[in-house]
Amino acid sequence: MNKNINIFGDVNNIGESNVCINKTIKEILNEYAGGMTGYKNVKLVQIGGPLGEVFKANNLNYKLSKYADSMVTDTIVFFNDLMCPVDFIRFCTRYVIRELGIRNDHVEKINILIENITSGLANEGDFEKLRETASEKADTYAENELHKIILYMADNFKNEFIDHIINKKCKTGICRKLFVAQCINGCPAEVNVPGYIALMADDRIKDAYSLMRKNNPLPFVCGMVCSRPCEDRCRRGEIEKTVGVRALKRYASDRALKTGEYKEDRLESKGKKVAIVGGGPAGLSAAYFLSKTGYEVIIYEANEVIGGMLALGIPEYRLPQAVIDKEVELVKNLGVEIITNTRVGKDVTLKELRNKFDSVLLSTGTHIGNKFGPDVKEIETAIDLLREVKVEGRKEIGENVLVIGGGDVAMDAARTSVRLGAKNVIVASLETFETMPASDEEKYEALEEGVEFVSGYGTKDIHEEGGKLKEITLKKCISIVDDKGIFSPIYDNEDLKKFEIDSLILAIGQRPDNSYLDEDIEINERGWIKINSFTFETSVEGVFAAGDIYRPGVAVKAIAEAKKAAQSIDRYLGGTGLYTEKEIEIPQGQLHYDLWFEEKINEKIINVAERVSNFKEITLTMSDIDAKCEAKRCLRCDRNTRSS
């Protein structure tokens, strides 16, 4: 039996299709809707109209016939990851009030609760109030269906509701009263992007750098390697090309630190001490905020260089150690003591630090690479290779290198292998080239440098001969995750590719070293430390954690978490808030009249022939003229207030 269904949402083919009701929702998505746009994931599906049944992607294998009899309208809507569950309920509630004309006290109570949550006016108890109200007996069919939607969304997206209420944050950028501009909301550290760009356009470079540091004490580092979530949400990008935010950040940081005279102040000592275990982006950032606020801070770093994975894992051609050192020096200038070559758990125990200090922050990241295959020296993890090259000066690699992985670490390993003189470098990933998690710039620069991609394949067999790596056989990957989004790849064992290799590099994820943790600090079944996701406190009072040690991510995520952890440590120690110095006045002048005629000025990359034989920095800082022109392309979305 077939049914005419109107398909809407974030799919490639919108419109009416004659669909067999015995098809699964997944089959309808792929065969009729043409899949999700932009290779995005399904977050929610609604069947049967604005008050129809909703479900997450783990129900995609249900057949349409399951819903056919209850569909008020013959519609299916697919929502991607940018759907906000709070705003979705807001839409459904407004539909009941405005379109169906139901305006009783009960619906109004729901409406007020939702409006407060989306406007930043809700308190901690409002989430349970919403659930309780939706659990009451409904007077009408429409209210009953609204109740079902509210309870489903509240149960399945609780963290996003709490984030709206506690942190006043809508990560998807839908609830506009919770943020000033999309770029600020997209940045995990919520750096005032249009503010510092306006300061740059006004030739106030040091003020621009200072404004960045209010939320991110490593802007020079981020100006080189940030994944640019702000640019993904840039409103100018909806018209033409986004503003080059990262390039401008790099320019302002470089110019502000050129003379070596950049100074910051701190509050007088509070007489309380904080130990930080790990000197990566999270540890350095927390130390910065706490030291400025008057705490005595000591960082214990196991390695000889400071910077964590920034220093150990990102190649010199992308992030020179000299850049890291410049911003580390600013942290030291605030009185932070950094003790290197000291491994907590070996040279000093965590228990000793807990007894000696008023509070402790754990920020040791993920420095153990995942590994599989025979025990031969030619098989190594990407993070070991990158560390040995950048820190220890390693200069050799095999002639025929294969890298397994699809992220930026895999790209770094492949491009490093090219620079070490490998003749053939292949990257094999389960994902297609388009859906690999590595950034586009990393993938395409790797292609330019001669890296070959074998996308959509995983490992079948690794062959050795006489204790040496000889060959690898790859098998076609049909799908990577199951319908619940759990990693569960399915392969076609008949579609195989074989490669003779003498070096295999594994870039398949990393995990934390928990060996130094005390027994009373809880970790979950997957080996990640347990924390309160809002206070960042561990299971032990006074011990906090931030960064990759509890949830892997990009550097700016770790920086953002470090500030929140520092705020919690300050509260724990009786403080009244972090010190961020005086406010910086943002220019509010008329937008440049040539705004609409300026074309994007991209960062200049050294040509392939010059860059592949060495580890010299490959991206050039903008010129003064280019930076000023690019800064004037900003649409200044921050001028729209939360109340408008």
CATH code where residue 234 lies: 1.10.1060
**pLDDT bucket at 59, cuts 50 / 70 / 90:** confident
213 within some domain: yes
**pLDDT bucket at 70, cuts 50 / 70 / 90:** confident
Rounded mean pLDDT of 131-160? Answer: 96
pLDDT of residue 483: 67
Rounded mean pLDDT of 170-177? Answer: 93
Do 292 and 225 share a domain, yes or no? no
Give the tens place of pLDDT for each residue, 228-279: 999 999 999 988 899 999 999 999 999 999 977 899 999 999 999 999 999 9
pLDDT of residue 641: 47
Give the tens place of pLDDT for each residue, 372-420: 999 999 999 999 999 999 999 999 999 999 999 999 999 999 999 999 9
Do 196 and 171 share a domain, yes or no? no
Average pLDDT, the chain: 94
Contact of 430 with 489, CB cutoff 8 Å:
yes
Do 144 and 169 share a domain, yes or no? yes
Contact of 381 with 370, CB cutoff 8 Å:
yes
Do 217 and 314 share a domain, yes or no? no
C-alpha distances in Å from residue 252, one per residue of 153, 194, 518, 633, 637: 43, 13, 43, 16, 20
**pLDDT bucket at 533, cuts 50 / 70 / 90:** confident
220 within some domain: yes
Do 597 and 552 share a domain, yes or no? no
What's the CA gap between 587 and 608, in Å, rounded? Answer: 40
Contact of 496 with 475, CB cutoff 8 Å:
yes
pLDDT of residue 591: 74
Contact of 80 with 10, CB cutoff 8 Å:
yes
Residues of the domain holding 560: 273-367+516-572
CATH code where residue 521 lies: 3.50.50.60
What's the CA gap between 343 and 578, in Å, rounded? Answer: 29
Contact of 521 with 540, CB cutoff 8 Å:
yes
In degrees and rounded to multiples of 5, residue 130 shows phi and psi of: -65, -45
**Taking 90 as the threshold, does the pLDDT of residue 330 lie above it?**
yes
In degrees and rounded to multiples of 5, residue 381 shows phi and psi of: -85, 155
Any alpha helices (H) in 425-489, and if so which ranges? Answer: 440-448
Do 373 and 363 share a domain, yes or no? no
pLDDT of residue 261: 83
pLDDT of residue 585: 94
C-alpha distances in Å from residue 314, one per residue of 148, 175, 225, 320, 450: 48, 35, 9, 9, 20
Residue with tokens 């509701």: 161
Q: What percent of the chain is modeled with pLDDT above 70?
A: 98
Do 562 and 604 share a domain, yes or no? no
What's the CA gap between 53 and 627, in Å, rounded? Answer: 50
Contact of 521 with 538, CB cutoff 8 Å:
yes
163 within some domain: yes
Rounded mean pLDDT of 166-194? Answer: 94
pLDDT of residue 371: 96
Higher pLDDT, residue 598 or 48: 48
CATH code where residue 129 lies: 1.20.1440
Contact of 90 with 158, CB cutoff 8 Å:
no
User: What is the chain's length?
Assistant: 644
299 within some domain: yes
What's the CA gap between 55 and 47, in Å, rounded? Answer: 9
Give the tens place of pLDDT for each residue, 267-278: 999 999 999 999
Buried b / exposed e over 155-187, threshold 16 CB at 10 Å, is eebeebbbbbbeebbbbbbbbbebbbbbbbbbb
Do 386 and 506 share a domain, yes or no? yes
What's the CA gap between 441 and 448, in Å, rounded? Answer: 10
pLDDT of residue 593: 65
Token pair belonging to 307: 């910077």
Q: How many domains does the chain have?
A: 4
**pLDDT bucket at 38, cuts 50 / 70 / 90:** confident
Rounded mean pLDDT of 133-139? Answer: 94
Do 428 and 476 share a domain, yes or no? yes
10 within some domain: no
Min mean pLDDT across 559-568, 570-579, 582-591 is at: 582-591
Task: Please provide the DSSP assignment of 270-297 as one string.
Answer: -S-EEEEE--SHHHHHHHHHHHHTT-EE
What's the CA gap between 212 and 195, in Å, rounded? Answer: 9
Do 471 and 460 share a domain, yes or no? yes
What's the CA gap between 440 and 9, in Å, rounded? Answer: 25
- For residue 263, how many C-alpha atoms fall within 13 Å in the half-sphere facing its CB? 2
**pLDDT bucket at 484, cuts 50 / 70 / 90:** low
pLDDT of residue 216: 98
Give the tens place of pLDDT for each residue, 349-381: 999 999 999 999 999 999 999 999 999 999 999
424 within some domain: yes
User: What is this structure's pTM?
Assistant: 0.92
Do 470 and 345 share a domain, yes or no? no
Residue ending a domain, choose from 488, 510, 532: 510
pLDDT of residue 643: 42
